[in-house]
């Protein structure tokens, strides 16, 4: 029995990974079709303005979790853009940012879980959840303005499906996220020796119980993320606190049932390092279903209030905008002082 167990686990892991990439193949043409649908004819003047506005939103807002607000890609988005817009010069920096942020996310969450499993007197189960929520908050504030701080393949997929992220960059983000998670897991395995189980997430009961929990908690996380990251009426400065709190709150009770993964990369890395693949498919299917349903639900209930003055500038709430405003005010003050002197 023990001799056949690793073979069964490997088969489960292969099926899970195969299902995940099959889901990508099914969703990729759907996403590109949605983004390339034709719409009502526009005058040449309107078309030019739309393209210029789209370019501004793409370069300055689409990857920033606090400035992505109200930046849904237009239907003619892909046909109106050049290849350089999809592969900007700073794409490598975004990818490195995802590697670093996902590495630190997995290092903290799985490290806390591994130590807690070996000795509850050192880190409690509540401490695990708090650590997970805090590292998400910190990473959003640290790199949210660079890469969007996805740190989660399911989140990247949901943003792409609902036109908040370019499909062509999804594989780069996925590669970065899985690389960061796997590297962090093997580093933990080395520094926490002789601990052999590195924060793996496995079902404690029937697999369908864990699947339902993963769908619900990931739904909650994505619902909150889309609300604070894409809606101009939300308080963008609190995006990190909101998403981190959502992760912390849901993982407190989900940890006892499914481990509270909410992230395929966070599960795959420790599974490879620990050579433990029990129920791996749950942590691919559950987060994908949860993020897609959470994003769809918020997109459905979201509405835009009619502006009282069409010519009034749009109000955005973000760290980047406030920094730019502060720099502009400081520059004006310096110029005024120079004139007075």
pLDDT digits (tens), the chain, 341 positions: 334 445 555 555 555 555 555 555 555 444 444 444 433 333 344 344 444 443 333 333 344 454 444 445 554 445 556 666 667 778 999 999 999 999 999 999 999 999 988 887 788 889 999 999 999 999 999 999 999 999 999 999 999 999 999 999 999 999 999 999 999 999 999 999 888 899 899 999 899 999 999 999 999 999 999 998 888 777 667 889 999 999 999 999 898 899 999 999 999 999 999 999 999 999 999 999 999 999 999 999 987 766 555 544 444 444 444 455 555 555 555 555 555 54
* Domain coverage including residue 151: 90-301
Residues contacting 212, CB < 8 A, separation 6+: none
Q: Per the domain annotation, does 222 fall within a domain?
A: yes
Structure pTM?
A: 0.71
C-alpha span between 318 and 274 (Å, rounded)? 40
Question: What pLDDT, on the 0 to 100 scale, is given for residue 175?
Answer: 96
Q: What is the CATH number of the domain that holds 110?
A: 1.20.1080.10
CA atoms within 13 A on the CB side of 120: 3
How many separate domains does the chain show? 1
Q: Per the domain annotation, does 214 fall within a domain?
A: yes
Task: Give the N- to C-terminal CA distance of the chain in Å, as an integer.
Answer: 87
Write the pLDDT tens digit of every residue in 73-123. 554 445 556 666 667 778 999 999 999 999 999 999 999 999 988 887 788
The continuous run of DSSP H or E covering 309 comes out as none
Residues shown for the chain: 341
Q: Per the domain annotation, does 61 fall within a domain?
A: no
Question: What pLDDT, on the 0 to 100 scale, is given for residue 120?
Answer: 76
Question: What pLDDT, on the 0 to 100 scale, is given for residue 247?
Answer: 94
Tokens 């050192």 correspond to: 122
Question: What pLDDT, on the 0 to 100 scale, is given for residue 182?
Answer: 97
Question: What pLDDT, on the 0 to 100 scale, is given for residue 325?
Answer: 53
Question: What pLDDT, on the 0 to 100 scale, is given for residue 110?
Answer: 95
Q: Which two tokens stand for residue 323?
A: 């920094």
Q: Per the domain annotation, does 335 fall within a domain?
A: no
Q: Per the domain annotation, does 175 fall within a domain?
A: yes
* Burial group, residue 12, by CB count within 10 angstroms (0-12, 13-18, 19+): middle
Tokens 């509540």 correspond to: 126
C-alpha span between 321 and 215 (Å, rounded)? 34
Q: Per the domain annotation, does 27 fall within a domain?
A: no
Q: Which two tokens stand for residue 325?
A: 């405003």
Q: Per the domain annotation, does 321 fall within a domain?
A: no
Q: Per the domain annotation, does 62 fall within a domain?
A: no
């Amino acid at each position: 029995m023990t001799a056949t167990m690793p073979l069964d686990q490997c088969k489960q892991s292969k099926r899970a990974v195969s299902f995940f990439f099959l889901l990508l193949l099914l969703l990729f043409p759907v996403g590109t079709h949605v983004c390339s649908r034709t719409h009502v004819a526009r005058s040449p003047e309107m078309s030019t303005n739309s393209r210029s506005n789209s370019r501004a939103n793409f370069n300055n807002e689409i990857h920033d979790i606090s400035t992505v607000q109200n930046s849904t890609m237009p239907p003619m988005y892909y046909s109106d853009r050049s290849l350089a817009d999809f592969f900007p010069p700073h794409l490598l920096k975004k990818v490195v940012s995802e590697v670093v942020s996902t590495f630190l996310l997995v290092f903290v969450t799985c490290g806390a879980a591994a130590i807690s499993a070996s000795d509850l007197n050192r880190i409690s189960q509540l401490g695990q959840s708090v650590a997970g929520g805090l590292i998400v908050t910190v990473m959003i504030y640290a790199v949210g303005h660079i890469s969007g701080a996805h740190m989660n393949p399911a989140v990247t997929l949901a943003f792409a499906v609902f036109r908040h992220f370019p499909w062509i960059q999804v594989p780069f983000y996925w590669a970065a996220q899985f690389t960061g998670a796997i590297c962090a897991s093997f580093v933990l395995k080395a520094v926490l020796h002789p601990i052999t189980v590195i924060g793996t997430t496995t079902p404690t009961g029937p697999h369908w119980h864990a699947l339902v929990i993963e769908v619900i908690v990931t739904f909650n996380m994505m619902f909150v993320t889309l609300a604070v990251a894409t809606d101009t009426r939300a308080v963008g400065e609190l995006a990190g606190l909101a998403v981190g709190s959502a992760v912390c709150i849901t993982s407190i009770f989900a940890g006892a049932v499914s481990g509270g993964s909410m992230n395929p990369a966070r599960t795959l890395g420790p599974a490879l390092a620990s050579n433990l693949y029990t129920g791996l498919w749950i942590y691919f299917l559950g987060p994908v279903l949860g993020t897609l349903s959470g994003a769809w639900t918020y997109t459905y209930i979201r509405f835009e209030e009619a502006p009282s003055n069409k010519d009034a500038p749009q109000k955005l709430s973000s760290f980047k905008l406030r920094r730019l405003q502060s720099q502009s005010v400081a520059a004006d003050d310096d110029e005024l002082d120079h004139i007075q002197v």
